[in-house]
């Protein structure tokens, strides 16, 4: 009796991605397949096994009990294959498939875009699907391999790697400070024009002498959903803004913006994280992305040097 040939690794990765994303089209995009090709592969697998791996609800594909039982074995095979590849002398095979990444809009354009262009140049078979949005997307639901987050990560069930600190400064244009004066304390900020993101009611500032963060009451002159619009308003002398040093470092060095003194308060420090869904098997393209970002952004990021 001739046995059926084993499933190939792409079949197993397809099962893994459909289970993560709950969507056949998202899984197909992540693997560089057309939805029709992914559907055919899944149908062939289910026919060979004689059972359904996924059941369709109104919005998602969910693993059947048999699919739940099959998935950990598939992930162990994928993990073993990557370990075998990594054990080869001289490195790994060329990267291929589609890297699907989400990141904050401004950070993605200013910091990530040049690094991702370098990654693609070094791996000609790799494709990129870059989603730039300030909304924190569900990585599994959107079929993303990874995401960059500039925010606290408490309460999130994600694997995370810190890339750099996100230092922020309160700053204003010299013309604004000449016209309105430099605030001498956190309380004095309330008398100044503030340039504020939508949904932010107060800036949380650390006192110069240490201690817990305190709320700084604001009088917004401009509210926007765009960090870039607020930065341009700050450069135009319309008020005081709270900005990351990766965004305004060049303007501070050229004297186009001036950082307020520590007596006013020091903004809370956030982290810049690379996050990805918890999985036994991490795709080679995600490992390559992680290595590149860790190397280029840390331990001291270029905008802080």
Fold classification of 9-87 is: Arc Repressor Mutant, subunit A (1.10.10)
Alpha-helical runs (H) found in the chain: 9-21, 24-31, 35-49, 65-87, 105-107, 113-122, 139-142, 174-180, 227-235, 245-253, 284-297
Q: What percent of the chain has pLDDT over 90?
A: 45
Its sign, for the CA torsion 91, 93, 94, 97, is negative
Query: 97-166+271-304 — its CATH code?
Result: 3.40.190.10
Q: Do domains 9-87 and 97-166+271-304 have the same CATH topology?
A: no
pLDDT above 70 (res 238): yes
Among 7, 67, 79, which Cα is nearest to 41's?
Answer: 7
Among 92, 87, 148, which Cα is nearest to 288's?
Answer: 92
**DSSP 8-state assignment for residue 54:** E
pLDDT at 254: 95
pLDDT tens per residue, range 85-134: 655 554 455 678 889 999 999 999 999 999 999 999 988 889 999 999 98
The label of the residue with tokens 């690379």 reads 274
Architecture of domain 168-268: 3-Layer(aba) Sandwich (3.40)
Q: Where are the domains of the chain?
A: 9-87, 97-166+271-304, 168-268
pLDDT above 90 (res 206): no
Task: Report d(CA 234, CA 171) in Å as an integer.
Answer: 8
Instruction: List the helix and strand counts (H, then E) for the chain.
Output: 11, 15
């Amino acid at each position: 009796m001739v046995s059926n040939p084993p499933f190939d690794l792409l079949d197993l990765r397809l099962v893994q991605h459909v289970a993560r994303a709950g969507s056949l089209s998202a899984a197909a995009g992540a693997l560089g397949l057309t939805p029709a090709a992914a559907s055919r592969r899944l149908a062939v697998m289910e026919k060979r096994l004689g059972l359904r791996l996924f059941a369709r609800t109104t919005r998602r594909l969910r693993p059947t009990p048999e699919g739940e039982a099959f998935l950990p074995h598939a992930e162990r095979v994928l993990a073993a294959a990557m370990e075998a590849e990594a054990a080869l002398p001289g490195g790994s095979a060329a990267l291929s498939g589609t890297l699907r990444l989400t990141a904050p809009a401004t950070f993605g354009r200013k910091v990530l875009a040049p690094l991702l262009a370098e990654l693609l140049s070094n791996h000609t078979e790799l494709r990129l699907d870059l989603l730039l949005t300030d909304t924190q997307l569900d990585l599994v639901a959107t079929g993303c391999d990874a995401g960059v987050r500039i925010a606290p990560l408490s309460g999130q069930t994600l694997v995370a790697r810190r890339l750099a600190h996100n230092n922020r400064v309160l700053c204003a244009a010299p013309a604004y400070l000449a016209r309105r004066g430099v605030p001498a304390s956190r309380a004095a900020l309330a008398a100044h024009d503030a340039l504020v993101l939508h949904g932010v009611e107060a800036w949380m500032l650390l006192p110069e002498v240490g201690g817990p963060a305190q709320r700084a009451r604001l009088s917004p002159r401009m509210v926007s959903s765009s960090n870039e619009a607020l930065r341009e308003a700050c450069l135009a002398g319309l008020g005081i803004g709270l900005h990351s040093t990766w965004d305004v470092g060049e303007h501070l060095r050229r004297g186009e913006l001036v950082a307020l003194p520590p007596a006013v308060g020091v903004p809370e420090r956030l982290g810049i994280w690379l996050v990805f869904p918890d999985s036994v098997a991490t795709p080679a393209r995600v490992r390559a992305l992680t290595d590149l970002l860790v190397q280029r952004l840390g331990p001291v990021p270029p905008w802080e040097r």
